[in-house]
Amino acid sequence: MNEQTFSLQPFPSTKSLPNLKIAGNIARNGNKLFIRYMLEGDLKEITIAAPSNTGSRKHELWKDSCFEFFVGIKDFLRYWEFNLSPAGHWNVYHFDSYRQGMQEEKAFTTLPFNVQNQADNLALVLNVDLDKIVSAEQVIEVGITTVIKHRNGEVTYWALTHRGGEADFHLRDSFIIEL
């Protein structure tokens, strides 16, 4: 099993940021991917969707607070974007290359994950089988990201690294975790 911890950084901004920290860990065992996000800080200052008993596939989850990660096969252009809402909604998109050919990934009909929301922290944990999109022998490159929507409507973008002049989670050289 290959396991790594991570800490996300906000895209540099001249605006003041709330006192938040986003960290976690990711592991791959065979073709099972485990990812755990931990959001800590003054959660009253951000918008977090209320939990839904019927979490389902939804589009445009990134317009609100949303945990995301990107998976690419090493030395291939194609990649996948996984979106996880604290409300329990989710989606997976497939891209042929940088921001090209975006399609909903139909190989996934469910994406089970847990959310635990407390006063000063929120944990999101996902276990997903990647067999439907990559083989266990293929090395994957992962970019871990989060969109945070603040109560005042402002949005901040968090990632392992920010490689562009503006926040862009799709830049392949920001998929810096290799599993």
pTM of the predicted structure, to 2 decimals: 0.95
Tens digits of per-residue pLDDT, 57-102? 999 999 999 999 999 999 999 999 999 999 999 999 999 999 999 9
Under 8 Å between Cβ of 65 and 84: no
Q: For the chain, give every domain's residue range.
A: 2-9+24-178
Specify the CATH number of the domain 2-9+24-178. 2.60.40.1190
Express each pLDDT in 31-55 by its tens digit: 999 999 999 998 988 998 888 878 8
What is the per-residue burial (b if ≥16 Cβ within 10 Å, else e) of 42-73? ebeebebbeeeeebebeeebbebbbbbbbbbb
Strand ranges for 42-178 from DSSP E: 66-73, 79-84, 90-95, 103-104, 113-117, 121-129, 140-149, 155-159, 177-178
